[in-house]
Amino acid sequence: MIRVFLILVIIIGLLATIAFALSKSPPVLPPSPLIAQIDSVLAAAPEEQSLAKAVKQLRKDVTKSLPKGKYVVIDRNSNTAYLRSADSVMFKAVCSTGSGGELTDPKTGRKWVFHTPSGVFSIKNKIVEPWWRKPDWAFVEDDEPIPSNNADRLDPNVMGDYALGFGDGYFIHGTLYERLLGMSVSHGCVRLGSDDLKFIYDRVPIGTGVYVF
């Protein structure tokens, strides 16, 4: 019974931690009684020392994983980007995320799904005046032959003035289609309007956390 109770308490604590980290309007919370509650139960049950050790490690892992300083949150459901800290939203902007559409190459059968991945990432690089290296799907989509020359893939006109890479080829960048901001229309990257992009670019160093949900 004690073991089940502890597992439930831990799950609730983890969910509360995630909700707080991603909250659009972060609440001001009093010190959580969660840790004291766990410790009091474990103290009353010395036979559960192995579980106590696991809980202690879990507490360390959760604390370590909490965002520190400024971080970026991307809400794919509302197509909203936030620059925030643990207790405040510093900036909010309309964005566009992946459409979820699919494309199949009729010649090879290769398939692509255009979604923005969820998870915890970080800013890997920052680029001024980025050039887009068009992947194979861009040529398949336009019914054009896939070039063998890398130079034929480069396009300087579609990513806006700045780009922030957050891993695996995904970027936060500008767009030619600002009228479509707020819609899920991208091929996976996060698009921002030019002014909003500059605001975030100027305030987000490499290594900043990016939370996409």
Residue 98's nearest CA partner among 191, 168, 198 is 191
Where in the chain are all domains bearing CATH 2.40.440.10? 71-212
Structure token pair of residue 84: 């925030």
The whole-model pTM stands at: 0.78
Dihedral sign (CA 168, 171, 176, 182): positive
Q: Which residues of the chain carry a pLDDT beneath 70? A: 1-49, 51-52, 54-56, 58-59, 61-65
pLDDT at 2: 54
In three-state secondary structure terms, 102 is strand
Q: Which residue stretches of 66-193 are H helix?
A: 136-141
pLDDT at 28: 39
pLDDT at 99: 98
Structure token pair of residue 150: 């890398």
pLDDT at 20: 55
What would you measure as the largest C-alpha separation in the chain, in angstroms?
70
Return d(Cα 75, Cα 82) in angstroms, integer.
8
Strand partners, 113: 102
Structure token pair of residue 43: 């103290």
| Integer Rg of the chain from CA | 22
Structure token pair of residue 85: 């800290």
Which architecture, in CATH terms, is 71-212? Beta Barrel (2.40)
